[in-house]
Structure 1
């Protein structure tokens, strides 16, 4: 088994990474940052998102494991003091995994350059730098509405607990292959009208957003700001690719939601 360690620059995370390397070598496992079978992230959800994008071309060959050195995250199952237990699980690995859906994004720029394709684990947003964003929203290439507001957020089920939730979107089970579109501060009055509620699209549907004015719009892919260029349109659909996590000990999704947002401690049978 080939293992990569992907850490943030914090002192606590670096200390855990050093301890991991020592224990992995002791177990005669192989460290390989270029072509790993397992990627262990040390930090938090932001670190795991960075690792996901770093290894996005190898997703079909990689399983991820997250160690959190701060607050409990949605993608990090292990604590910083559990290095020995984790390495023991690695040494007895039998290929067990759980997978989550991802978001395909394709961007067409106003200058006519070739379409750019992106992949997100959490979400993508399209916003206006200043003022109100106006955009035609198409579902399966049929005009659905003319949106007016700060922007739109398109998320995966696991990403539904992030920016999407802050924008008033629903929390979706990762067992659903679906994407969600949530409005960010939409304008609704006697003159302007949008649906005003989140949309959930099935795997055979897609959404295309066409800004009325191509300039001064910002596109994000997870925590990454996509290059600042005039955008003609952006499309989104559930991806055929998935992210895989090594299921040595994987916290049940609704337990994460309950503990993160409500603070309720569940029993071990949940």
Structure 2
């Protein structure tokens, strides 16, 4: 941390939040950090809010892999990406002064639409019909046809995203130390015409998942990346793989991924 001294605070620009963030900015200056106004000038980016705010901070600052991200929660809700609470200034001081922190590396999804436009996401990529009806996709693992899916859609998640939407559709919780992606079905049809695996499956970072939409679809799928939907029109093919980049975050030594899982779900 000694050579990472430029801090950017990502937060809503309103009177209430500005007042809450000001003591954190003063605390940073007191311990020889420089508070900057532009995220591109920072090598530490601090999100203020909840996990959704953290996801937006990473997205709006470009999934940078040359800086550290840190999450500061403002509500009493449990958070996966926030190691600190805005009222825990003593805890922040202790982390700064005693170096009671580590660097955690989160895998990032890379989604390419029609081999042209590429997007990144930290939790998951959601593909589902924009209409209230099932739709059909041919599922390829690398170049090999795996299955023909018909249903509401699919959730493709990172290990850290495995505790989010993926878990709500009975996907597995995956250790983020494993570089992989998980594919979970949304209400698949299994009958004499369509047959899918019927359970979540996991691919290593060596594989690429390709979804080819059938010609009988409207070709207007909803594609969600974390907590944001992207605008799409005619889409024929979606490719998802694990990106080469990683998002580095501040991690307290007594706050591992599995400790977060335990306190959130058990």
TM-score with structure 1 length normalisation?
A: 0.88
Q: Which residue of 1 aligns with 2:150?
A: 148
How many Å separate the matches in 2 of 1:230 and 1:203? 28
Q: Which residue of 2 aligns with 1:241?
A: 245
Q: Which residue of 2 aligns with 1:230?
A: 234
Aligned CA RMSD, in angstroms, stands at: 2.1
Q: Which residue of 1 aligns with 2:80?
A: 74
2:95–2:101: 8 Å Cα contact kept in structure 1?
no
Q: How far off its partner does 1:74 sit?
A: 0.6
Q: How far off its partner does 1:82 sit?
A: 1.3
Give secondary structure in 2 for the equivalent of 1:170: coil
The alpha-carbon distance between structure 1 residues 224 and 168, as it changes in their structure 2 partners (threshold 3 A), is same
Q: Which residue of 2 aligns with 1:100?
A: 106
Q: Which residue of 2 aligns with 1:53?
A: 59
Q: Does 1:160 align with 2:162?
A: yes
Q: How does 1:1-270 map to 2 (within 5 A)?
A: 1-8=5-12, 13-32=17-36, 33-34=38-39, 35-56=41-62, 59-70=64-75, 71-87=77-93, 89-90=95-96, 96-108=102-114, 115-130=116-131, 131-212=133-214, 213=217, 215-249=219-253, 251-262=255-266
1:139–1:207: 8 Å Cα contact kept in structure 2?
yes
User: Over residues 65-116 of structure 1, what are the superposed CA-to-partner deviations in whole Å (9 max), with x where a residue is unaligned?
Assistant: 11111212111011121134325534666994121211111111xxxxx700
How many Å separate the matches in 1 of 2:16 and 2:90? 16
2:126–2:155: 8 Å Cα contact kept in structure 1?
yes
Aligned length: 256
The alpha-carbon distance between structure 1 residues 105 and 165, as it changes in their structure 2 partners (threshold 3 A), is same
More displaced stretch, 131-140 vs 34-43: 34-43
Q: How far off its partner does 1:155 sit?
A: 0.3
Can you give the 5+ residue segments of structure 2 that lack an aligned partner in the other structure? Answer: none
How many Å separate the matches in 1 of 2:146 and 2:35? 50
Can you give the 5+ residue segments of structure 1 that lack an aligned partner in the other structure? Answer: 109-113, 263-270
Give secondary structure in 2 for the equivalent of 1:20: helix
TM-score with structure 2 length normalisation?
A: 0.89
